[in-house]
Structure 1
Amino acid sequence: MQLLKQVLFVAALLCCFLFSSAQKKVLDHAVYDQWESFGERIISNNGKYAVYTVNVQEGDSRLVIAQVGASGGFVIPRGYNAAFAGNDGYVVCKIKPPYKDIRDARIKKKKPEDMPKDSLALYNLTTRTLVKIARVKQYKQPEEQGSWLGILLEKALPETPAQPDSATRVAQLARTADSLAHVADSLRKQLAGIQQHGFTANAAKKETNAKSKTEDAAEEGTTLLLKNLLTGEEKTFTLVSDFAFDKNGTALALYSTRKNSDSTSQAHVLWYHLQQATTDTVMVKLHDAHSLAFDEAGTQLAFTAERDSSTKAVQKLFKLWYYKPGMDSATLLADRNTSGVPAGWGISENATLRFSKSGARLFLGTAPILPPKDTTLPEFERAGVDIWNYKDDALQTVQLYNLNRDLKKSYTAVYNWQNHSVIQLADEQFKNIELTDELNGNVFYAATDTGRRVAAQWQGYTFSDVYAIDAATGKRSLVEKNFKGNMYPSATGKYLLLYHDRKRSYTLYNSETHSSTPVVLNTRTPLYDVENDVPDDPNPYGIMGWAKNDSLVYIYDQYNVYAVQPDGKKAAVPVFVQEGKKRVRYVKTDEEEHGIDISKPACFWVYDETTKLSGFSKAVLQQLPARLERISADTVNSSSLVKAKEAGVYLWVKESFSQSPALLISGNRADSVQSMPGWHTTLAAQLYQTNPQQSQYYWGTASLYKWKAYTGKLTEGVLYKPENFDPKKKYPMIVYFYERNNNTLYNYQAPAPTPSRLNIPFFVSRGYIVFVPDIWYTTGHPGKSAYDYIVSGTRALMKEGFVDSTKIGLQGQSWGGYQTAYLITQTNLYAAAWAGAPVVNMFSAYGGIRWESGLNRQFQYEKTQSRIGATIWEKPELYVENSPLFHLQKVKTPLVIMSNDADGAVPWYQGIEFFTAMRRLNKPVWLLNYNGEAHNLVERRNRKDIQIREQEYFDWLLQGAVAPKWITDGVPAVMKGRTWALESSK
């Protein structure tokens, strides 16, 4: 009997174990690191192979090479930056060092040059063999692939000397100790006789000499390995700093530096003929070179180089050089003294040199030559001052933020071969030029807002004058004055399509007739954003693009596309037959496309605004209306379409809230993929489904929820419910919001320590309902608008019966943080609130700075997101109404504020104002300031920390958990870094 009891007891334990092991788990903070997402996705030109990366949040990712129609695939651990090479016969990629090695090196605080380095992988798709090359800095190949690959290596590791035996080592150490003792004694005697000023002067001299030596020793290049993937031929070049292939893989240009330890060595530029294996010396005796650029045919080379001045010179003046095979050496094309270069300007080494597609034009950059810094005084005696002037185009904060970019700013020019001069196209008035017809166009376009830039401070935009520029002479002709809107040059440059924000309409400019005509579309919906609710002109839906040879321009309305003839002879034609509220948008699958070829299938993303489903289709645009043909029969949430260049094979990602992203591939027999036997090309095949481990955890569902807001508008939101949801139970709920999110219904959201937003699947897994309502705004009353939609949606859900009305929380970040702050001053409905980076005082915020850009915040209140629509002097009452700071005495909801001291969007003093006011009023409030962090947390360690604290806070107030010590006791400054106070207070 006793034995039977023991057997039954063991059996019961086994059953319990089996039952418990089959049970799902709730998500916790340990799951994040290995949760997967897709990274790179490419297809070979012939459509036979796909390459993709599967990334984890923290740790080692992997690269997969899959043959279309075959099972499995070849995995390269830690592979990234992949490309097909050798005429699609190879896959080449870089390999990151193991995550553990990088982490260990960071712990040891190794210098950048001593950190673990990338490797290179070469996978032969025919032989299925892999070759690795260690310590690779970068690789390049010709644009059209071919057989060549250039691999620039990292600096070689210094050789480790042989270690002496222990007896020898002891003797060496003894001799070293004696030597150091003598040195120390000598130094003591010298220091005793040196006055302080003499020591300082001597130290300064040594510092100057050291600096001079550093400047003389320019950074050396490294070894370039040139490899022919088809023949196996290899060649190496030493001390290479930069290199470039021509488009078709016939030529290689490279710049090699001098060797600092060899005074006889010289820097040089070489042209290597890849087919003949011969070398031309393009230039020697130079100090620096930049922007090696071939023409498309591979018969011309241009670059900038500095060779006349000493390496110690304060200013280095670069020149434009040119070479073609047969010349003795590179010839000088232009410098600061060349005709056409503005006085006081020179050739910019920071510009990208470009030949036109025909090779007949060479585009370069020029820039003002800045005076050297004043060194007449030592640095510690120079005044450090920023001088603000009300006439400056931009605030000093903007200028300082853009300083490094502006120091490298260059202005587009073109070299005139006929009279050996430079035609300056751009300048400080016309900063950016729209180049046309792959740089072959007769007409370019530009706009200038000179004299009107200051107003951007409060408008957020400027008015510009639009000009057409004669490419041959640089002559400018006025097209439109005081323009606000969007410019769309045609493929050849003959036409310029303009969208006028104020008029909410398009005009077409003909550069041959110098005339502009209105574009009249017989659209059923407007051409501008009908849902615009900021106090500024609505943006246009934009254009799909121009057809080749400028035969048509395709303009979007809210859902459809219209084909417009630029000559205006025929009425606009809808491209597709409209079916409900389906938005059709063009997907550019060829980066080299310059004008849409209407004779070939084009790809489109189709989104149904009613169901929120999306998918990809294709259509030929030659006959209108065009017929959309599905690329795949599945339409949930489809994104990231990639197409094979020479085959009708398509790769894309499919997901929903409950289905982790999957990578699918499909094709069409009519699109030349019949050569792949066994592959059912009419159906989509799944290459990989991320996160199979998700099935082990409780997840949830997402559904569209509709209700009538206090404004009377029927409104939508997304409602997330826990798995095995029981409508008879009462659930705690967190309301998360920003503006409008109904189009995210089918978005997958990985459980991740987020930068700021609510980790929705995490909380849903742990038994919370999460509600994300849409908000529609009325100018002047953004706070009330938030109340009308968020509170009405909350109360509508309370009536459903499954929400615990005493356990509802709020969470918002940035604009959502502001709305959270406002709501708790208007209602006591919510039991807990969490506001990230909130604005609470619109008066002080109005004059503040967005430090990430240096911009003043005035435009935000007058014209954009904050939606006041007036200045603080015109309508101060609106700033009071919408500022939570002035209504905090009514707050009863406990609140956590996140406000970081390096926030670049919302000045963190807003969080301080909020906290100190709540503290003064004796309201329950906590402030989290992540040191050195941005508006949204960047450091993963901080993301993990805030995720834990957010869970603890909501669990305490919404699920009855015990509060942690950081809430009950805080963390005094003396305890910072000694305790995190995450443990329970009991």
Structure 2
Amino acid sequence: MLGAAPPSLARPRNLPSTQDMRTLHRTVCRGALLALGAALSAAQSHAQGAGRVITQADYDIWRSIQGTTLSRDGRWLAYSLVPAVGDGDLVVRSTKGSTEWRVPRGYVGRPQLQPNADSGFTAPPPQFSYDGRVVAALTYASRAEFERARRGRRAADQPATSLAIVSLADGKVTTVPRVRSFAMPREAGGWIAYLLAGGDSAGGRGADSARTPGVAAATPGGTPRPISGDSTARRGGRRQETGATLVVRELASGNETRIEDVTTYAFADSGRWLAYTTASRAESHNGAFVRALGASGIGAEVALLSGKGSYRALTFDRAQKQVAFVSDHADSAAARPRMSLYQARLAATPTTRALVTPAGLAADRLLSDRGVSFTRDGSAVVFSVTPPRLDSIPADSLADKAVFDLWNYKDTRLQPQQRLEAARDRGRSYTAVYQLGTGKWLQLTNDSIPQVSLSEDGREALAVTNVPYALEALWGEGANDVYLLDTRTGARKPVARNVRFRAELSPAGRYVVWFADHGWHAYDAQSGKTTDLTAKLTGVRFDQETWDTPSDPQPWGVAAWTADDRSVLVYSHYDVWELDPSGARPAKVVTDSVGTKTHVQFRLVSTGGARGRFRGGDATVVDPSQPLLLSAFDDRSKESGFYRERLDAATPPERIVMAAYKFGAPIKAADADVYAVTRQSFTEFPDVWVGERLDRLTKVTDANPQQKQYAWGSAELFEWANGDGVPLQGVVYKPANFDPSKKYPMLVTYYEQMSDNLYAYDAPAGRNRINPTVYASNGYVVFTPDIAYTTGYPGQSALKSVVPGVQAIVARGFVDPKRVGIGGQSWGGYQSAYIVTQTPMFAAAFLGAPVANMTSAYGGIRWESGNSRVQQYERGQSRIGATLWDAPMRYIENSPLFYVPRITTPVLIMSNDADGAVPWYQGIELFIALKRFGKEAYLVEYNGEGHNPRKRANQLDIDRRMQQFFAAKLKGEPAPEWMEKGIPFVNKGRDQLAPVNAQSTATSAGQATLPR
């Protein structure tokens, strides 16, 4: 039997720490079922009490809902409730009753502790069993234990992961400690397999045992992953991998089978087979194995191939009739063993054969141990070959040699890009396909044709190459040549050249479609004919007419295909169109032009969710006999909702719901008409609503009940015209308890188009941005205007959009014109820097990672990618639209640096020394110029940070400094010491800013105040 939950798991009160531990069973008061339509008719603005002002002390407790999933029968909802920082819960909730089970998940709200590092930890989602009897999820140690381990800094001290298996019948939780991954069959209930963490394997392939198992950690979606060696030893100078213990548990009886030394494993979708590979200290026990699963339990181990060597990349076909894997067993005696590709047919007595061996490969090719799969119909195996790995040159071998990078004008990639991509280049591989029917295989990709996509049967492949346009792509948009490959013969047919946008192969491989010359084109693989599918249409555009950079407008995109490649569905700005790829049938607007007439944008919705966790067809293929679910967004009012439409009906789309909210993507139960969807507004957190219809939903979560304790602002749409008379929209966020007779300070922040966020919830958080929720709670009006751009004049475009908007709001009478500040990050930082050179309107400005001098930035490098910044200005976001030599004055006129003497606004600049997007020296150039002219300026440089601070301490620090800076300049509060005296370098690390309450003088009753 399984052991008790580890002491590290924080349990609900009064729960026994035994296997029979039960989670908190709470009866949630739900009241009468409220129709969504009735809820939507209520006034969105609600009475705001005095409320506490939001401070940094409140950020960590704000929770998010992650990994939402429905059981197949729709009776249960599961998700993780995760605080910004701290311990979270797995919540399992009845969709129709009031039953709710909670299991502590441990420290899932983990902030990033290192600068410029990848994003923080995200726990994998919970997974329901196919029969809906249990839900399983990984759990972790508490935050306190992680902090103790971090201080200890020993690998042995790191807290282990556990697995929680929750019985939906009674809430009973089975907790298994020390796990790595877990899996359940996608189309059968009754089984779960989990791999124990390192050190829990017996170290040899002994007989099956029924000892207490450890559990395997789930990867996202419950997909098992290979183990990179829990322990290693060296024999004969070679690194030896060893596996861990796999426990296979029959959920109904609790019977368990332990299998030692497992490295990878997978269930067949049907639950009839379990396959796994092993690596043992006794290498003769290594192998690839299967076991049959059935009502009588788990069968005996059957070896597909065993003995000395490595076994990897195990995979089933969709019909679960065969398995493929790779192994170097046949070459294991070599100093550097080479892999072979194997196929095994599953039966009472499985048979295994080698498909590709080293003898069948070219001398400069090896078979890769990654990327093995079957085609959809199981007729072919897709695998990869690779050249021998090019090892790095040891640094000590160059001690007395010249070390340099050579930049050559013929290089298609600059040296910084080559440096970043060196690991990829050394480990590059090429896609190949083995036809099981003919016994022949073909390498599909190479250095000249780096990309292919296969049809469902693997007989056709779409080959795309950008090699002929690689130099052009350094400065322009790049392009591709497109070919169709016969994977059986290698015959290659040219489809199209100089294609700017993505070409797509139809699911059955009959057609290739792509966008060019403002229309959709299709190539028929059978006839070799190319057809312009939209040439006869007038008054409709399929590229983005709202495109505002000096480059080719992108298409709105492909929505889906219908079965048998009969139709392809594409988008215009507002509507969905059906095109016949053969060109025989005329184009049809599926949504009856309702979108265009009403300014409502329709898009297909894939209600994947739970279904996506089980094999159920491709999201890109729709059944024309079934109704289509469409999301809807009104780009004038910003309301959203859902419509229903049919391909086989000539009727307008049926409205389900439209409301003053932002709806998330709905999840539908696989076997029931039950939906789960989030809805949000500026004042309403995106909690989950469930129901059998999208217009009759019931709220079943309450992630942040503490919100009602705080002073919360409101949001409203605001309209004005820019300096050229172009109508614009923006959002005005007003403070809690807004009084139109008062004069408030106002902050203006922007990027490009932000008005679509009218109904977006913005959780309190500290970063290098003006958070409307936080600042509105602290007594500011916040304005986020849209900007209309004119190519060649990005700075003036921002000025002519923002200033008239600010003037229009000031004219309303509730903003003090002498207390208006602006701020933005990146592109918003540049625009803010430009604006303050042109007007004295603003009393303070935050400039996050601004470009100050386009002439010097033009020739720089985007260090995060290694690419040149030239394209940014000639064709991209900076919107100059010409080279520096063709239009030098445009670069100068749009550069804030050349207008620094005009600036009267105090500025706070953030420019980080590891910024990979905007050159760090841009902020320095601006600061030096400001200092040279005696302007009030402060520059914060976070060491080792990139474009946006990722280390949480740095995020909170810039948030505090921004709040202090704006409070001093817009509220008249005393300036902090760092503004008055600076921080000498010798005090670096000693002077740590204390948390500060950004509210003005008075605090609300009950508010926690923090030291200055």
**Secondary structure, in 3 states, of the residue corresponding to 1:605?**
strand
Tell me: CA distance 1:211–1:389, structure 2 relative to 1, closer, same or farther (3 Å). farther
Matching residue of 1:571: 586
Query: Unaligned 5+ residue runs, structure 1?
Result: 1-20, 160-209, 669-680
Q: How does 1:726-741 map to 2 (within 5 A)?
A: 726-741=739-754
Does structure 1 conserve the Cα–Cα contact (< 8 Å) formed by 2:323 and 2:346?
no
Which is further off, 531-540 or 134-143? Answer: 134-143
**Secondary structure, in 3 states, of the residue corresponding to 2:664?**
strand
CA distance in 1, matches of 2:345, 2:391: 35
Matching residue of 1:543: 558
Matching residue of 1:624: 650
**Secondary structure, in 3 states, of the residue corresponding to 1:817?**
helix
CA distance in 1, matches of 2:358, 2:739: 77
CA distance in 1, matches of 2:925, 2:233: 46
Q: 2:709 aligns with which of 683, 689, 696?
A: 696
Letter in 2 for 1:117: A
Q: Does 1:121 align with 2:164?
A: yes
Matching residue of 2:663: 638
Which is further off, 817-826 or 615-624? Answer: 615-624
Does structure 1 conserve the Cα–Cα contact (< 8 Å) formed by 2:907 and 2:936?
yes
CA-to-aligned-CA distance 1:727-765 (integer Å, 9 cap, x gap): 1111111110100111000000011112x2211111111
Does structure 1 conserve the Cα–Cα contact (< 8 Å) formed by 2:288 and 2:304?
yes
CA distance in 2, matches of 1:343, 1:156: 40
Matching residue of 2:364: 344
CA-to-aligned-CA distance 1:374-406 (integer Å, 9 cap, x gap): 579746556543333322221222222122333
Q: Which has the higher contact order (CA 8 A, sep 6+)?
A: 2
CA distance in 2, matches of 1:855, 1:771: 34
Matching residue of 1:553: 568
CA-to-aligned-CA distance 1:258-310 (integer Å, 9 cap, x gap): 22xxx676432222222361211223333323210112222322112224667
Tell me: CA distance 1:269–1:142, structure 2 relative to 1, closer, same or farther (3 Å). same
Q: 1:26 aligns with which of 53, 74, 78?
A: 53
Matching residue of 1:665: 690
CA distance in 1, matches of 2:315, 2:275: 8
Q: 1:433 aligns with which of 449, 452, 469?
A: 452
CA distance in 1, matches of 2:941, 2:392: 38
Tell me: CA distance 1:651–1:920, structure 2 relative to 1, closer, same or farther (3 Å). same
Q: 2:327 aligns with which of 297, 305, 310?
A: 305
1:982 is displaced (CA, Å) by 4.8
Which is further off, 702-711 or 377-386? Answer: 377-386
**Secondary structure, in 3 states, of the residue corresponding to 1:922?**
coil
Letter in 2 for 1:869: G
Q: Does 1:101 align with 2:116?
A: no
Matching residue of 1:673: none
Q: Does 1:404 align with 2:429?
A: no
Q: Does 1:656 align with 2:681?
A: yes
TM-score by length of 2: 0.84
1:48 is displaced (CA, Å) by 1.3
CA distance in 2, matches of 1:907, 1:277: 62
Matching residue of 2:605: 587
1:54 is displaced (CA, Å) by 1.8
CA distance in 1, matches of 2:189, 2:160: 28
Task: Name the % identity.
Answer: 34
Matching residue of 1:514: 528
1:365 is displaced (CA, Å) by 0.9
Tell me: CA distance 1:290–1:381, structure 2 relative to 1, closer, same or farther (3 Å). farther
1:959 is displaced (CA, Å) by 0.1
Matching residue of 2:205: none
Matching residue of 2:32: none
Q: Does 1:612 align with 2:632?
A: no
Which is further off, 731-740 or 92-101? Answer: 92-101
Q: 1:491 aligns with which of 496, 507, 530?
A: 507
Does structure 2 conserve the Cα–Cα contact (< 8 Å) formed by 1:527 and 1:556?
yes
Letter in 2 for 1:347: L
**Secondary structure, in 3 states, of the residue corresponding to 2:799?**
helix
Matching residue of 2:462: 445
CA distance in 1, matches of 2:889, 2:834: 16
CA distance in 2, matches of 1:374, 1:853: 23
Q: How does 1:307-346 map to 2 (within 5 A)?
A: 307=329, 313=335, 315-325=336-346, 330-338=352-360, 341=361, 344-346=364-366
> Which structure is larger by alpha-carbon Rg, 1 or 2?
1
Tell me: CA distance 1:91–1:379, structure 2 relative to 1, closer, same or farther (3 Å). farther
Matching residue of 2:193: 150
1:108 is displaced (CA, Å) by 2.4
Q: 2:382 aligns with which of 352, 360, 363?
A: 363
Q: 1:830 aligns with which of 821, 842, 850?
A: 842
Q: How does 1:516-915 map to 2 (within 5 A)?
A: 516-520=530-534, 522=537, 524-577=539-592, 578=594, 579-590=597-608, 591=612, 592-594=616-618, 595-625=621-651, 627-630=653-656, 634=659, 636-668=661-693, 683-754=696-767, 756-915=768-927
Letter in 2 for 1:318: M
Tell me: CA distance 1:402–1:586, structure 2 relative to 1, closer, same or farther (3 Å). same
1:65 is displaced (CA, Å) by 0.8
CA distance in 2, matches of 1:635, 1:140: 41
Q: Does 1:137 align with 2:152?
A: no
Does structure 2 conserve the Cα–Cα contact (< 8 Å) formed by 1:499 and 1:540?
yes
1:100 is displaced (CA, Å) by 1.7
Matching residue of 2:94: 67
Q: 1:292 aligns with which of 302, 308, 314?
A: 314
Q: How does 1:379-394 map to 2 (within 5 A)?
A: 380=399, 384-394=403-413
CA distance in 2, matches of 1:332, 1:347: 13
**Secondary structure, in 3 states, of the residue corresponding to 2:271?**
coil
Which is further off, 773-782 or 244-253? Answer: 244-253
Does structure 2 conserve the Cα–Cα contact (< 8 Å) formed by 1:964 and 1:982?
no
Tell me: CA distance 1:117–1:248, structure 2 relative to 1, closer, same or farther (3 Å). same
Q: Does 1:504 align with 2:524?
A: no
Matching residue of 1:977: 989
**Secondary structure, in 3 states, of the residue corresponding to 1:808?**
strand
- Report the count of equivalent residues: 889
1:832 is displaced (CA, Å) by 0.5
CA distance in 1, matches of 2:538, 2:245: 60
1:626 is displaced (CA, Å) by 5.1
CA distance in 1, matches of 2:459, 2:959: 57
Does structure 2 conserve the Cα–Cα contact (< 8 Å) formed by 1:102 and 1:115?
yes
Tell me: CA distance 1:374–1:936, structure 2 relative to 1, closer, same or farther (3 Å). closer
CA-to-aligned-CA distance 1:829-888 (integer Å, 9 cap, x gap): 111011111111112211211122111111111101000111111111111111111111
Does structure 2 conserve the Cα–Cα contact (< 8 Å) formed by 1:842 and 1:882?
yes
CA distance in 2, matches of 1:863, 1:636: 35
1:317 is displaced (CA, Å) by 2.8
**Secondary structure, in 3 states, of the residue corresponding to 2:266?**
strand
Does structure 2 conserve the Cα–Cα contact (< 8 Å) formed by 1:251 and 1:274?
yes
Q: 2:485 aligns with which of 447, 469, 475?
A: 469
**Secondary structure, in 3 states, of the residue corresponding to 2:665?**
strand
Does structure 2 conserve the Cα–Cα contact (< 8 Å) formed by 1:573 and 1:624?
no
TM-score by length of 1: 0.86
CA distance in 1, matches of 2:193, 2:746: 57
CA-to-aligned-CA distance 1:399-445 (integer Å, 9 cap, x gap): 221223333332211113455432111221111112122xx154221
Structural RMSD (CA): 2.5
Letter in 1 for 2:606: K
Does structure 2 conserve the Cα–Cα contact (< 8 Å) formed by 1:215 and 1:311?
no
CA-to-aligned-CA distance 1:39-70 (integer Å, 9 cap, x gap): 11111111111112222100112121111111
CA distance in 2, matches of 1:417, 1:923: 74
